């Protein structure tokens, strides 16, 4: 492909300067005199076509909320805002595909109904996954549930911090295990997923080793306190780190994940035998078997225990340890789990092989299209749901296929109103064929809808991110967007930056301010339109 369109050419030049997709500095399209094109103005209409949610809240607040104090908005651009799905119920936006409702009868609700106390522990990098997604997209904790979250390191590059704040997480887990009033302790250790999105093998190997070491410390304390431990993951990443052509794959995978039961009662441990053919939705009913409560009839998942050895003597306390991003595959050139130093994991496998199995964590098993990779959102939803929950992506893809997407009342009204008001229409979102945050195919559909409805002033604001994409793919997608605009005779890609600056969930408002300033004030590396 020839990268002759202005933004695609600029992306290639940024690569040559050593920038990558994830952290690429903002590029701003200008006219021949250097004046930014397509700035978002107060009263304009923005459609944010991303589909995930937790990383989209901050930039939405900056553009849509009248009351905003996180940084000085000059000029102020409070827009008419439409989102593909609901990012947060309190945002002043219209939602094209509103939520189907809170997922009822999750594991958290079942534990609460049985008067079982629960503690959730992780770093703030994964707080939303344990607090919100694991609970079926419920914002408030259940009765008897609390959380303890370690503030993650504030950094633009985690490759220098592969250990993250794991030691502090472990300290909190030990305290929770020592508190005999806490009956279920749910922990997420995020290193493998977070560091796995970086192209630095040495850092990933350190991250895997750190998670393995932490697992050993936690299991030792759990055994001391008589707590039964479950070890699993939400999806895979670095066990398949190399594409077939030898390039690095920094994205999630469609690999299965490990599932172990480690029982402090050694006589009981010898009786445990796990079945094959499991999936993430089987974790919740297994935990129910262990702690001795009934699973709801609505659950599709089945206990992974071949025989319920806890039927007569259930465990009073259970630890659920989620090693985020730790997938399971045989040894291979791209398997950085197998290449890492993991003595604890190796010992667990060797000591109790029958108490281990692999479970599916991608595709249709987590409400996604066949064969598609898993992610932390759907992973945690399905760890806690006990049944398959159809993802927002599946709903949207079905609407696209049926043609209902192009008739969506919220989209149609937003475009028509913008046209009638004489304001600009802005399409904003991820630049990727298949990210967990969205697809440029959805953006193209919206651009085509604007063309069909007669809008004449449409601008696109893109966010690059090479997670699960091959090297230099950002330039390919950028050229695709610019060529689509030329083909339709409508639209311009006017700002483009790495998703690092725009899709934040840690209240790094300096990053969001940079995104805001590029879109609203036209501040960035000027790229002359041609």
| 269, 228 Cβ separation under 8 angstroms | no
Is the pLDDT at 472 greater than 80? The verdict is no
Q: Which fold has domain 107-388?
A: Alkaline Phosphatase, subunit A (3.40.720)
| 112, 144 Cβ separation under 8 angstroms | yes
The string of pLDDT tens digits covering residues 156-215 is 889 999 999 999 999 999 999 999 999 999 999 999 999 999 889 999 999 999 999 999
- How confident is the model at residue 468, as a pLDDT? 60
- How confident is the model at residue 27, as a pLDDT? 98
- Count of C-beta atoms within a 10 Å radius of residue 180: 11
Is the pLDDT at 470 greater than 80? The verdict is no
Select from 369, 466, 477, 493 the least CA-distant residue to 433.
Answer: 477
Cα 300 from chain centroid (whole Å): 24
Q: Which residues pair with 357 in a beta bridge?
A: 259
Is the pLDDT at 459 greater than 60? The verdict is yes
Q: Give the chain's mean pLDDT.
A: 94
Q: Which residues pair with 147 in a beta bridge?
A: 120
- How confident is the model at residue 466, as a pLDDT? 67
pLDDT band for position 437 (cuts 50, 70, 90): confident
| 318, 287 Cβ separation under 8 angstroms | yes
Task: Tell me which range, 114-128, 391-405, 425-439, 459-473, is most confidently predicted by mean pLDDT.
Answer: 114-128
The string of pLDDT tens digits covering residues 45-83 is 999 999 988 899 999 999 999 999 999 999 999 999 999
Q: Which residue has the tokens 């949207």?
A: 396
β-pair type (525-528, 27-30) = parallel
- How confident is the model at residue 329, as a pLDDT? 92
CB burial readout 243-262, b (16+ within 10 A) else e: eeeeebbbbbbbbbbbbbbb
Q: Which residue has the higher pLDDT, 530 or 445?
A: 445
- The least confident of 22-36, 448-462, 466-480 is 466-480
CA distances from 530 to 5, 474, 486 (A): 8, 20, 11
The string of pLDDT tens digits covering residues 216-271 is 999 999 999 999 999 999 999 999 998 888 888 888 999 999 999 999 999 999 99
Task: Tell me which range, 146-155, 388-397, 425-434, is most confidently predicted by mean pLDDT.
Answer: 146-155
Tell me the chain's radius of gyration from C-alpha atoms: 24
pLDDT band for position 469 (cuts 50, 70, 90): low
Question: What is the Cα–Cα distance from 170 to 156, expressed in whole angstroms?
Answer: 24
Q: Which residues pair with 461 in a beta bridge?
A: 428, 495
Q: Do domains 6-98+394-528 and 107-388 have the same CATH topology?
A: no
| 455, 83 Cβ separation under 8 angstroms | no
Instruction: Pick 6-98+394-528's CATH classification: 1.10.260.40, 3.40.1450.10, 3.40.50.300, 3.50.50.60.
Output: 3.40.1450.10
Name the residue ranges covered by the structural domains of the chain.
Answer: 6-98+394-528, 107-388
Question: What is the Cα–Cα distance from 48 to 84, expressed in whole angstroms?
Answer: 6
DSSP designation for 24: P
Is the pLDDT at 283 greater than 90? The verdict is yes
Is the pLDDT at 301 greater than 80? The verdict is yes
Select from 453, 475, 474, 452 the least CA-distant residue to 465.
Answer: 474
pLDDT band for position 388 (cuts 50, 70, 90): very high
User: 392-402 and 440-452 are packed helices; what angle lies between their axes, rounded to 10 degrees?
Assistant: 40
- Count of C-beta atoms within a 10 Å radius of residue 86: 16
pTM of the model: 0.80
Q: What SS3 class is residue 415? A: helix
Question: What is the Cα–Cα distance from 239 to 218, expressed in whole angstroms?
Answer: 23
- How confident is the model at residue 527, as a pLDDT? 96
């Amino acid at each position: 492909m020839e990268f002759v369109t202005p933004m695609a050419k600029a992306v290639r030049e940024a690569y040559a300067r050593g920038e990558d997709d994830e952290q690429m500095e903002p590029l701003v399209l200008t006219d021949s005199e250097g004046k930014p094109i397509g700035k978002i103005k107060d009263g304009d209409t923005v459609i944010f076509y991303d589909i995930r949610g937790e990383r989209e809240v901050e930039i939405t607040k900056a553009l849509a909320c009248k009351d905003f104090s996180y940084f000085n908005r000059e000029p102020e651009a409070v827009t008419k805002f439409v989102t593909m799905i609901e990012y947060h119920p309190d945002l002043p936006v219209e939602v094209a595909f509103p939520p189907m409702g809170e997922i009822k009868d999750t594991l958290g609700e079942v534990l609460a109904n049985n008067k079982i106390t629960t503690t959730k522990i992780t770093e703030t990098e994964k707080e939303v996954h344990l607090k919100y997604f694991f609970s079926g997209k419920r914002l408030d904790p259940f009765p008897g549930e609390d959380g303890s979250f370690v503030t993650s390191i504030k950094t633009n590059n985690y490759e220098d911090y592969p250990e993250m704040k794991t030691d502090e997480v472990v300290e909190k887990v030990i305290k929770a295990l020592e508190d005999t009033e806490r009956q279920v302790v749910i922990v997420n250790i995020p290193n493998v997923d977070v560091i796995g999105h970086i192209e630095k093998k040495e850092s990933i190997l350190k991250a895997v080793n750190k998670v393995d070491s932490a697992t050993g410390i936690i299991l030792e304390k759990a055994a001391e306190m008589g707590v039964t431990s479950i070890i699993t993951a939400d999806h895979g990443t670095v066990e398949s780190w190399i594409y077939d052509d030898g390039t690095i794959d920094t994205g999630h995978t469609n690999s299965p994940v490990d599932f172990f039961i480690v029982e402090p009662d050694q006589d009981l441990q010898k009786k445990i035998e796990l079945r094959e053919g499991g999936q993430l939705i089987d974790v919740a009913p297994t935990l129910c078997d262990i702690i001795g409560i009934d699973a709801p009839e609505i659950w599709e998942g089945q206990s992974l225990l071949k025989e319920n050895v806890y039927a007569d003597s259930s465990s009073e306390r259970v630890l659920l340890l989620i090693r985020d991003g730790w997938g399971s595959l045989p040894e291979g050139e791209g398997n950085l789990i197998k290449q890492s130093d993991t003595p604890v994991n190796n010992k667990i496998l060797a000591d109790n092989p029958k108490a281990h199995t692999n479970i599916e964590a991608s595709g249709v098993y987590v409400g996604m299209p066949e064969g598609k990779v898993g992610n932390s959102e759907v992973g945690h939803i399905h760890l806690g749901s006990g049944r398959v929950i159809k993802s927002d992506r599946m709903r949207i893809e079905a609407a696209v296929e049926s043609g209902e997407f192009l008739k969506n009342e919220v989209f149609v009204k937003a475009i028509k109103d913008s046209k009638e008001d004489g304001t600009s229409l802005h399409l904003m979102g991820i630049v990727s064929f298949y990210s967990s945050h969205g697809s440029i195919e959805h953006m193209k559909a919206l651009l085509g809808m604007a063309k069909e409805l007669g809008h004449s002033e449409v601008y696109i604001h893109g966010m690059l991110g090479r997670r699960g994409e091959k090297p230099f793919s950002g330039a390919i997608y950028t050229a695709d967007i610019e060529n689509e605009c030329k083909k339709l005779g409508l639209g311009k890609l006017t700002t483009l930056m790495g998703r690092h600056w725009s899709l934040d969930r840690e209240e790094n408002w300096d990053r969001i301010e940079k995104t805001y300033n590029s879109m609203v004030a036209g501040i960035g590396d000027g790229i002359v339109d041609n």
